[in-house]
Amino acid sequence: MLFKQQALLRQKLFVLGSLAIGSLLYLVARVGSLDRLQPICPIESRLGPPHLPEQIPLRTLQYKRGLLHEIRKGNATKEQIRLHNLVQQLPRAIIIGVRKGGTRALLEMLNLHPAVVKASQEIHFFDNEQNYARGIDWYREKMPFSFPNQITIEKSPAYFITEEVPERIFKMNSSIKLLIIVREPTTRAVSDYTQVLEGKERKNKTYHKFEKLAIDGNTCEVNIKYKAVRTSIYTKHLERWLKYFPVEQFHIVDGDRLITDPLPELQLVERFLNLPSRISQYNLYFNATRGFYCLRFNIVFNKCLAGSKGRIHPEVDPSVVAKLRKFFHPFNQKFYQITGRTFNWP
């Protein structure tokens, strides 16, 4: 009996001890991870009104992210929002495209930066007539709460290819920063096709083969009526944007490199946004099961992108791939020339 009691007591002590050690280790690691963050240096005036309040140290922003999270879940009171000076700000940077370029990965990875707050959903304000008619206050209300010296970023890849959007964004903020993430155009077109194909399959519908859509059956030439092909002619779309914004207001992200080695691409974006460099290798780890980099916010919170990102593409007839690559080549050259960024696309 006594032996049984002693064993029980030992078991209890063991559980309590493990809990205490676990908590201690967690606290030490967490403080350690927060200590890595240095005070923020001022975000340049181009990113916001010159009367920005005193910069909040990153450590505070990190801590306050918890509060932002609560607000998103609807758990914060109006009083808390007022007390913490939280606001719904119009975006100071937008990821305007390109669809299937890696827009979600880019947004999520930038959101690792303590001075960046993402709009989780694609808002489709500027490309959707019904939404646009709702006015700018509707758009602002779709934005997440943030601290005044944070920047809000949204992504809606349809903006890049929609005729009316550049003028509309210009009217909202002519000095906004515009991010475009691109991939090798043929791969992007196949990725675009794969997404549509999956949608059809989910609804038990049949769909044409990629080759049939991408090549005109009568002329045997590339079918420029096919949207996935048109979207990949980056220079055509960019030229429309350049009627409103100078080229310096755009930053081109290499979507292929964001897959294989994201950090250098993110550091270039930080620089473009005039943000201090805060995203580090610690925040990104390669997940062999997913075959992609995933995000580590801190010791307890990490995540990979949804399974709909990183689909397996169908095999495409090599002669069609070659035809498409030849077709895109001159457009790519022009794109390199305009943007000053060269890619090794075939």
User: Out of 310, 331, 334, 336, which residue is the one contacting ligand A3P (CB under 6 A)?
Assistant: 310
Nearer to ligand A3P, 104 or 323 (CB): 104
Does 100 help bind ligand A3P (rule: CB under 6 A)? yes
What distance in Å separates the CA atoms of residue 145 and residue 64, rounded to the nearest whole number?
A: 11
Give the binding-site size for ligand A3P (rule: CB under 6 A).
17
Token digits of residue 28: 């030490």
Nearer to ligand A3P, 177 or 183 (CB): 183
Taking the complex as a whole, the smallest distance from the CB of residue 215 to ligand A3P amounts, in Å, to 20
What distance in Å separates the CA atoms of residue 38 and residue 113, rounded to the nearest whole number?
A: 12
Q: Cis before residue 98, ω within 30 degrees of 0?
A: yes
Candidates 125, 144, 147, 152; CA nearest to 136 is 125
Contact region with ligand A3P (CB under 6 A), list: 99-107, 116-124, 162-170, 214-222: 99-107
Q: Is 100 a catalytic residue?
A: yes
Taking the complex as a whole, the smallest distance from the CB of residue 238 to ligand A3P amounts, in Å, to 17
Give first-to-last CA distance, the chain, whole Å: 79
CA 164 to chain CA mean position, Å: 23
Taking the complex as a whole, the smallest distance from the CB of residue 107 to ligand A3P amounts, in Å, to 8
CA atoms within 13 A on the CB side of 342: 4
User: Out of 61, 76, 105, 228, which residue is the one contacting ligand A3P (CB under 6 A)?
Assistant: 105
Encoded amino acid at 65, one letter: R
Q: What residues contact residue 75 under an 8 Å CB cut-off, 6+ apart?
A: none
Taking the complex as a whole, the smallest distance from the CB of residue 292 to ligand A3P amounts, in Å, to 3
What distance in Å separates the CA atoms of residue 178 and residue 51, rounded to the nearest whole number?
A: 23
Does 293 help bind ligand A3P (rule: CB under 6 A)? yes
- Positions that interact with ligand A3P (CB under 6 A): 99-105, 157, 191, 258-259, 292-293, 305, 309-311
Known binding positions for 3'-phosphoadenylyl sulfate: 100-104, 183, 191, 293, 309-313
